[in-house]
Structure 1
Amino acid sequence: MSQLEIFKVALDEEIGQHSYGSEPAELYEPIRYLMDLQGKRLRPMLAVLSTYLFTDHWQQVLKPAHAVEVFHNFTLMHDDIMDHAPLRRGMPTVHEKWNENTAILSGDVMLVQAYELFLGLSPDILPQVLKRFNKTASEVCEGQQLDMNFEKMREVSIADYINMIRLKTSVLLGFSMELGGWAGRAEQPVVEALYAAGENMGLGFQIKDDLLDVYGDPGKFGKQIGGDILSDKKTFLYLKALELADTAQKEELTSLFSDSEPDSALKVKRVTGIYNALGIKEIAEEEVKKYFEKAIGTIRELSAPDDRKRVLLSFVNQLWAREK
């Protein structure tokens, strides 16, 4: 078994054997359902990989890494309600399988459970971890609010968008690596470098997600293709297209994104056609490359054994090349 496989098995065991509660069943079954869907688990994996850079005792970070995954899934459960998303990881979302009230309440319990799992940390680092986690959790909510605001705003800049995804997605990846650094007793400058690597990785990861939403394989992506277009989300692809579009293309794009009752399939087809005409896919791929290369460069410069950095870099490259 490779080192990555060892870490994955350990995380699966840690998450799989945890009991979130039993009664009332309607409260806890949705939590088990969502956690059992087993997403990429990249955030807890980044925490473990970052700890492993500095110590053989990486098992100590499993519970707090689990906490990050529970928090992440809590945000997904609530985000899916706000986005009216029908699918998550190829399966019905919690609010579709049960109802919105259940999804809200089960998500609330998940947030409480995340804090309980952090208590597995050593007492000397717990206060600073919780302080940083609280800031990160607030930033994730800020990012989600900005994302919803952007749906109603006529003008959003690419800089605005990058800041939004930094908050909504990147800060939690940065925190995951930061958490691993603390658990591995890394020096503060190293912990800060880990956070920066995670933040850049998160920016690349989210723009890759924007790409997959339009150009992904429906059988692999696990979410509705064109979902961002149907939700009128101002993604990197949309904003770059507006920037490069001629007058007719710009008018068509803005009209399509303001139509309250569009033909769904036709809307996705027409928007994708404009993207294709402007070479948006290739531009976005270059943007993804830029952020992942920044993250990789930071990791390579870390004061840690090369063989352990290679394990982390292998995982980063898998995220870059992902199809789902």
Structure 2
Amino acid sequence: MTQTTNPLVFLEALHQEIQQTEYGQQPAELYDPISYIMNLGGKRMRPLLTLMAAYLFGDDWRRALKPAVAVEVFHNFTLMHDDIMDQAPLRRGQPTVHEKWNHNIAILSGDVMLVNAYELLLDVETPKLKKVLSRFNRTAADVCEGQQLDMNFETRWDVTEDEYIEMIKLKTSVLLGFALELGGIIAGADDAASSLLREGGINIGLGFQLKDDLLDVYGDPAKFGKQVGGDIIANKKTFLLIEALQQSRGDLKAELIGWLSATEFDKQEKVQAVTAIYDQLGIRQLTEERINNYFTRGFANFGQVSADPARKALLMDFTEQLIGRES
């Protein structure tokens, strides 16, 4: 077997494939937004994991390139529609599609992105195509279910930890799991290995989301890439807030509810006050324990995959680098 030891090889191949992918030409208002959002960058974490999972089982990982791009196209489709629902003005530091064009164009361009994702998945060999499409369909439905649960939670103050974990699993983690599973299926992995890759991806994805929650409160503003404390200002139901609501008592609970109920407040003061409540309750330590637990589970899943140890080490090292990022 030819050993590929540098993840940049996968990244360069993926970048080239994305650049040469055609989404359509006319009308330009339909297709230009797709090229726009696909060229905004991002970590390309999901499609890279697809390629690295394919590499676990052989040298012909390039046959996973178009399906890997399908994962990235689907991911960006969900972002385009999420931005409309969230009324977000910026995506990766640039105007969102609905801001740069309009809401109707963003909806329709997103729709055709989903069609493009299916078109790219058709590059999978026929014997494996039905399984891939079936798994993709389930994943896509899960993502929609997770987004709806997230919206449902906006009007609820009794969201439990288990409900929150299920929501982020569906909304974000299952796609990471599918990305890895997809690479395995394409490369001929058996059902056991494909399942372990999926579960590993889901566990790593849960750790990522909880880390994102944590960094929003405790991250370095220079590294995080977003406004630290933004979730606190917006009363967003995060793991930290849910745990604080469940664990606080007496005056501390009253203080927390007071900040959540306030309609007029100094943003910095609110962030400092709620963070102080988290500190008193040990929420940071609890969150870090959960994060490490999910990452440990994910690596244990990867460790059980029957594949070349050196190739598994490449996947696990790459995942560790992603975990270490603070943006």
User: Which of the five TM-score ranges fits, normalised by the shorter chain?
Assistant: over 0.9
Query: How big is the shift at 1:290?
Result: 0.7
Instruction: Say whether the 8 Å CA contact 2:47–2:69 is kept in structure 1.
Output: yes
Match of 1:42 among 41, 45, 48: 45
Tell whether 2:59 aligns with 1:72. no
Q: State the SS of the aligned residue for 2:172.
A: helix
Q: In the alignment, which residue of structure 2 is the partner of 1:272?
A: 275
Paired AA for residue 89 in structure 1:
R
Q: Deviations over 1:97-122 (max 9, x none)?
A: 33322222221111111111101110
Q: Note if 1:217 corresponds to 2:220.
A: yes
Answering whether residue 312 of structure 2 is matched by residue 309 of structure 1, we say yes
Q: Percent identity?
A: 56
Answer whether contact 1:20 1:113 (CA < 8 A) is retained.
yes
Structure 1 residue 286 displacement after superposition: 1.8
C-alpha displacement of 1:261: 5.2
What's 1:203 paired with? 206
Post-superposition offset of 1:242? 1.7
1:21–1:291 CA distance, 2 compared to 1 (3 A): same
Compared with structure 1, are the counterparts of its residues 240 and 152 closer, same or farther at alpha carbon in structure 2 (3 Å cutoff)? Answer: same
| Per-residue deviation, residues 185-230 of structure 1 (Å, max 9, x unmatched) | 0111111111111111111011111122223334433334333233
SS of residue paired to 1:19 = coil
Tell whether 2:29 aligns with 1:26: yes
Which 5+ residue runs of structure 1 have no aligned equivalent?
none
Gaps of 5+ in 2: none
2:119 is matched with which residue? 116
- 2-structure distance, mates of 1:96, 1:249: 41
Q: 1:6 aligns with which of 1, 9, 24?
A: 9
Question: Could you say if the C-alpha distance between residues 37 and 91 of structure 1 is closer, same or farther in structure 2, counting changes exceeding 3 Å?
Answer: same
Taking structure 1 as reference, are residues 224 and 30 closer, same or farther at Cα in structure 2, changes over 3 Å only?
farther
2: CA distance, partners of 1:247 / 1:215: 25
Q: How far 1:34 sits from its partner (Å)?
A: 1.4
Judging changes above 3 Å, is the alpha-carbon distance between structure 1 residues 106 and 79 closer, same or farther for their aligned structure 2 residues?
Answer: same
- For residues 61-140 of structure 1, what are the structure 2 equivalents within 5 Å? 61-140=64-143
- C-alpha distance in 1, partners of 2:305/2:34? 37
Q: For 2:244, what is the secondary structure of its paired residue? A: helix
Cross-structure match for 1:174: 177
Match of 2:236 among 222, 233, 237: 233
Q: Which residue in the other structure is 2:155 paired with? A: 152
Q: Secondary structure at the match of 1:124?
A: helix
Compared CA separation, residues 258 and 75, structure 1 to 2 (3 A): farther
Give the C-alpha shift of residue 149 in structure 1: 0.6
- SS of structure 1 residue aligned to 2:319: helix
SS in 2 for 1:155: coil
The corresponding residue for 1:291 is 294
CA contact (8 A) 2:14 2:69 kept: yes
Residue-by-residue CA offset, 1:58-81 (whole Å, 9 max, x unaligned): 001110010011101111111122
Distance in 1 between residues matched to 2:129 and 2:79, nearest whole Å: 25
Note the aligned Cα RMSD (angstroms). Answer: 1.8
SS in structure 1 at match of 2:272: helix
Alignment of 1:182-201 (within 5 A): 182-201=185-204
Contact conserved, 1:67 with 1:113, CA < 8 A, in 2? yes
Q: In the alignment, residue 60 of structure 1 is paired with which amino acid?
A: R
The alpha-carbon deviation at position 33 of structure 1 amounts to: 1.8
With normalisation by structure 1, the TM-score equals: 0.94
Q: Is the 8 A contact 2:5 2:314 kept in 1?
A: no
Residue type of the alignment partner of 2:37:
L
Contact kept, 8 Å, 1:173 with 1:198, in 2: the verdict is yes
Name the TM-score, length of structure 2 as normaliser: 0.93
- Offset, 1:236: 0.5
Counterparts of 2:261 and 2:243, CA distance in 1: 18
Maintained 8 Å contact 1:89/1:221: no
Tell me the CA shift for residue 16 of structure 1.
1.6
Give 1:95's aligned amino acid. Answer: H
